[in-house]
Amino acid sequence: MTRSATPGVAGALRDSATEPSETGFDTQLYGRFPTQDERPAGELEALKKVWETPTGWRAFSAVNNNFIGFLFIVTAFGFFVAAGILSLVMRVQLAAPLAGIVPQETYNQLFTMHGSVMMFLFAVPAVEAIAVMLLPQMIAARDLPFPRLSAYSYWAYLIGGVVFFCSIFFSLAPSGGWFMYPPLSAGVYSRGINADFWLLGIGFIEISAIAGAIELIVGVLRTRAPGMTLAKMPIYAWAVLIFGVMIILAFPAMIMVTFLLELERAFNWPLFDATRGGDPLLYQHLFWFFGHPDVYIIFIPASAMVSTMIVTVAQKPLVGHEIVVLAMIATGFISFGVWAHHMFTVGLPGLSAGYFSAASMAVAIPAGAQVFAWIATLASGKVQRNVPSLFLVGGILIFVMGGLTGVMVGMVAFDGQAHDTYFVVAHFHYVLIGSMVFPLFAGFYYWTPMINGRQLSERVGRWVFWLCFVGVHVCFLPMHLSGLMGMPRRVDTYLPGRAWDLPNLVSTVGAFIMAVGVLLFLIDAIRCYGRKGGSGGDARNVYKGGTLEWLATGNYAVRSIPVVNDLEPVWADARLREDVEAGRYFLPGTATGARETLITSSSRAEPQYVQIMPGPSWWPLLAALFTAGFFLLLTVKALTLSAICGVLTVFCLMRWVWSNDRHLPQKQVDAGAGILLPTYVTGPQSHGWWAAVLLVIVLGMIYLMALFAYLYLFGAHPDWWRVAATRDALVPGLLLLGASGGLAYAALPAMAKLKRGSGLSAVLMTLSMVCLVAALAVDGVDWWHAGLRGNVSGQGAAIYAMLAWHSSIVVAVTLSAFYYLARWMRGLAPGPANKTLEALRILFMYAALEGAAGLLLPRLLPWGSV
């Protein structure tokens, strides 16, 4: 019989069921999806055809997660190798005192690029790349919900990263450390464009990371297999969700701090110049609000990879699964309250230092809970002896050692002695290698059979492990000693007779031992992936894993999307693979002739609608290329060419999304077993609505950092607040902003209720944009007439920086208004609702609120009228 399924599809299914389970699904009905054993002829071939990756030059237009994710991983690992080579040059320089392998300035560029590439181009992109490839397979989604966004994120990362790294070959690399503290990075001390390459390049790469994070969050919440409630969600999916949320909360601080420093360098606005009312410590607060959570942004997905692989290695469910999930959430939460433990030596008040020291201790508790869960799982299971298990156990040992020294540097008194010495270098290398690099290698060996159908060599893998494991200790263990003996970080040489010679020589030997291990891995990986894929089916599941990625068979992930009733569904149902490959579950073919995936509810994972996925496109690549051109040409002050690239970027982005909001002739399609699901949904049920909300959260966090900068500078240097704030702009500005927000809000009900609401909505959105532009002009002109100048004081710099950022949002709103107007004129904005209008009105209303905050804060607080 045919069942009509609405967003409450479980209710219709219960009509033929007995008693519903806790998940809202009938377990007997879903235990074997009721459909015929033989699917229609040619159904599987049509599915493969729709999802195939273009070949030849057209491969650059591919957007599916398997292709993009693999390129992402290879590129991230390439940057790891490149940054490792830079570190070998540094270790050769430090192997003996007074060595002159490279000049001092070159050495400064080497350690700056090594740290920047490892943190910004390898660590976060690598875990994000693995999520792009692995997450859809693990939750049985056809793809991530915005595949072209994944492609744009990758190409932006590749182009920006390669250009940024190549700056070192032209002596244009920055030399102020991977953190680029002012005043060394300010225009007075870094007059060339080296620092600008870092600022604009890293800011560009951060935008790429945020775009990927938004997609991953929506993917976890909205594309899970039916029945995969939050309680039955794989621990890796939990980690990706936490990872994405942390990125959209932490990375805005990095975007704002690079924006502020570039404003200071470009326009001489004294945001970090203490002689004119700025403060260099503001940079450190903003940077480490990003920088310390960034360590856990790296750790949490890697730790979830460990949890996933340990379950398979031990052939036993994870001990304390719920506790581990809570521990990851707690780690992410506490990590945002620890940033100033990097600043114990700057003269923090005693109370503040005590708080951050306590928080530094507290964050070790949930990390320890995960370690004990891993140990208990291994101890109670039947451990397989293979290369993944070696890297897992070795990584745990290294991570625990790094964690112990982390507790040491979290103590204020000890940190005062060890700060900026090689002890800290040893600490964070132990932490990052143990918590991320070794799990990454374990994952390469564990998931390669799933990706390629072939195994990496177990024999070579053991050599790789022991070389890397021994090399880590030989390289970094002596650094604890040299640091305690007083050797400072970031020095290109040292005098003889200080007893630093032997520890540095040993560390250099260890670095090359690790390098040999990585080289062996590269040779083995090229051998493995250089051949065509091997066997399929169960033969790929070499290590007998229990999660859904082992059912993946192609670009479309699984042949049919199963119903999940267990944390390890492959273990729970011996016939699951057979049923999935026979098409006995959801979407066994292509119901509309296009790429599709199933959108489910965020908590209970009930099917809501069928999403039509975009296919291959050149526009993400072109948009990324011109975006990179805009930033990089801006760096070298080629303003005309940069502006041209900016215009082309906008065109490519608009052309890219032009066909996204599509109404198909099929209003409902058979998702399997006669269950009908809609193909177009608006409102909070739409995955696009979720993405728009997340984007607004990111923009809000960026502006919150700008407000923090304003308040911090007033608190640090109130004597520089010399221009009295006039309140002439308050009434007209607020009226214009209120009108802008109200008009945007009214656009949707006007479309839904009025006969000609579609055209009226376009008019209302255009008027909303006009009001927003007028309010910005009123605000800026008012400050200018009051005599405020950005290059005179910290007050002027902070206020004009807020206006500058808000101006960029207003520009985006203006372009969006013209885009929506063009869609309406082409008949592509029909009522009673469309996803484009819903997303844009959220942006417009946010812009009005942001403008109101910037208008009110400097004028109504007490110092605004001093």
- Within 8 A by CB and 6+ apart from 639, the residues are 633
3-state SS class at 597: strand
Q: 807, 805, 792, 785: which is closest to 724 by C-alpha?
A: 785
154 vs 863, residue with greater confidence: 154
- 80 has a pLDDT exceeding 60: yes
- 810 has a pLDDT exceeding 50: yes
3-state SS class at 865: helix
Q: In the block, which residue shows the tokens 């199963």? A: 562
The predicted model gives 240-263 an average pLDDT of 96
Question: For residue range 334-343, what is the model confidence (pLDDT) as tens digits?
Answer: 999 999 989 9
Helices (H), 582-729: 619-635, 639-658, 687-716
- 7 has a pLDDT exceeding 60: no
DSSP letter (8 states) at residue 549: G
- 861 has a pLDDT exceeding 80: no
pLDDT of residue 38: 62
- 18 has a pLDDT exceeding 50: no
Count other Cβ atoms within 10 Å, centred on residue 462.
13
Q: pLDDT category, 654, cuts 50, 70, 90?
A: very high
The predicted model gives 514-539 an average pLDDT of 85
458 vs 659, residue with greater confidence: 458
Q: pLDDT category, 727, cuts 50, 70, 90?
A: confident
Question: For residue range 195-205, what is the model confidence (pLDDT) as tens digits?
Answer: 988 988 888 78
Question: For residue range 728-771, what is the model confidence (pLDDT) as tens digits?
Answer: 899 999 999 999 999 999 999 998 887 676 889 999 999 999 99
pLDDT of residue 534: 61
Q: Are strands 675-678 and 668-670 parallel, antiparallel or unpaired?
A: antiparallel
Please answer whether residues 409 and 431 qualify as being in contact, where contact means their C-beta atoms are separated by less than 8 angstroms.
no
Helix axes 147-166, 65-94, angle to 10 degrees: 20
Q: Which two tokens stand for residue 851?
A: 């403008």
- 330 has a pLDDT exceeding 50: yes
CA dist 463 and 193 (Å) reads 44
pLDDT of residue 200: 82
Q: In the block, which residue shows the tokens 């016939």? A: 575
| 192, containing H or E segment | none
Q: Are strands 3-4 and 668-670 parallel, antiparallel or unpaired?
A: unpaired
Please answer whether residues 672 and 560 qualify as being in contact, where contact means their C-beta atoms are separated by less than 8 angstroms.
yes
Question: For residue range 461-515, what is the model confidence (pLDDT) as tens digits?
Answer: 999 999 999 999 999 999 999 999 999 999 999 999 999 999 999 999 999 999 9
Please answer whether residues 705 and 257 qualify as being in contact, where contact means their C-beta atoms are separated by less than 8 angstroms.
yes
Farthest CA pair distance, the chain: 88
The predicted model gives 382-408 an average pLDDT of 95
pLDDT > 70 in the chain, percent:
94
Q: 140, 222, 219, 13: which is closest to 581 by C-alpha?
A: 140
pLDDT of residue 3: 40
177 vs 536, residue with greater confidence: 177
- Picking from 44-53, 510-519, 771-780, which range would have the lowest pLDDT averaged per residue? 44-53
Percent helix, strand and coil across the chain, each to the nearest 5: 70, 5, 30
CA dist 298 and 250 (Å) reads 12
Please answer whether residues 631 and 623 qualify as being in contact, where contact means their C-beta atoms are separated by less than 8 angstroms.
no
Q: Which two tokens stand for residue 652?
A: 């490519």
- Picking from 170-174, 609-613, 640-644, which range would have the lowest pLDDT averaged per residue? 170-174
- 22 has a pLDDT exceeding 90: no
The predicted model gives 214-241 an average pLDDT of 96
Q: pLDDT category, 40, cuts 50, 70, 90?
A: confident
Q: What is the DSSP string of 210-238?
A: HHHHHHHHHHHHHSPPTT--GGGS-HHHH
- Within 8 A by CB and 6+ apart from 765, the residues are 743, 744, 747, 817, 820, 821, 837, 840, 841, 844
Q: 12, 133, 6, 23: which is closest to 569 by C-alpha?
A: 23
Q: How far is CA 314 from the centre of its chain?
A: 30
pLDDT of residue 392: 97
Count other Cβ atoms within 10 Å, centred on residue 618.
14
Q: What is the DSSP string of 55-107?
A: -GGGGGG---HHHHHHHHHHHHHHHHHHHHHHHHHHHHHHSSTT--SS-HHHH
What sign has the CA pseudo-torsion 203, 207, 208, 214? positive
Q: How far is CA 706 from the centre of its chain?
A: 21
CA dist 179 and 108 (Å) reads 13
Question: For residue range 294-329, what is the model confidence (pLDDT) as tens digits?
Answer: 999 999 999 999 999 999 999 999 999 999 999 999
Q: pLDDT category, 562, cuts 50, 70, 90?
A: very high
The predicted model gives 687-711 an average pLDDT of 96
pLDDT of residue 820: 94
Amino acid at 830: P
CA dist 142 and 599 (Å) reads 10
- Within 8 A by CB and 6+ apart from 411, the residues are 357
Q: Are strands 668-670 and 595-600 parallel, antiparallel or unpaired?
A: unpaired
- 1 has a pLDDT exceeding 50: no
- 419 has a pLDDT exceeding 90: yes
pLDDT > 90 in the chain, percent:
79
Please answer whether residues 545 and 569 qualify as being in contact, where contact means their C-beta atoms are separated by less than 8 angstroms.
no
Q: pLDDT category, 863, cuts 50, 70, 90?
A: low
pLDDT of residue 168: 93
| 608, containing H or E segment | strand 607-613
The predicted model gives 611-629 an average pLDDT of 93
pLDDT of residue 753: 85
The residue count for the chain: 866
CA dist 151 and 510 (Å) reads 38
CA dist 420 and 223 (Å) reads 46
| 670, containing H or E segment | strand 668-670
Please answer whether residues 314 and 349 qualify as being in contact, where contact means their C-beta atoms are separated by less than 8 angstroms.
no
Classify burial at 835, counting beta carbons within 10 Å of its beta carbon; exposed 0-12, middle 13-18, buried 19 or more: buried
DSSP letter (8 states) at residue 49: H
Q: 554, 491, 507: which is closest to 88 by C-alpha?
A: 507
Helices (H), 315-386: 321-335, 350-362, 364-380
Classify burial at 49, counting beta carbons within 10 Å of its beta carbon; exposed 0-12, middle 13-18, buried 19 or more: exposed
183 upstream amide cis, omega within 30 of 0 = yes
pLDDT of residue 475: 97
CA dist 383 and 314 (Å) reads 4
Q: 767, 764, 768: which is closest to 748 by C-alpha?
A: 764
CA dist 742 and 841 (Å) reads 10
236-263 burial code (b ≥16 CB/10 A, e <16): bbbbbbbbbbbbbbbbbbbbbbbbbbbb
Classify burial at 27, counting beta carbons within 10 Å of its beta carbon; exposed 0-12, middle 13-18, buried 19 or more: middle
- 5 has a pLDDT exceeding 90: no
pLDDT of residue 535: 60
Question: For residue range 574-600, what is the model confidence (pLDDT) as tens digits?
Answer: 899 999 998 889 999 898 999 999 999
What does pTM read for this prediction? 0.94
- Within 8 A by CB and 6+ apart from 804, the residues are 259, 263
Per-chain mean pLDDT for the chain: 90
The predicted model gives 636-647 an average pLDDT of 91
- Picking from 37-46, 175-184, 188-197, 803-812, which range would have the lowest pLDDT averaged per residue? 37-46
- 16 has a pLDDT exceeding 60: no
The predicted model gives 604-633 an average pLDDT of 93
Please answer whether residues 124 and 433 qualify as being in contact, where contact means their C-beta atoms are separated by less than 8 angstroms.
no
Q: pLDDT category, 30, cuts 50, 70, 90?
A: very low
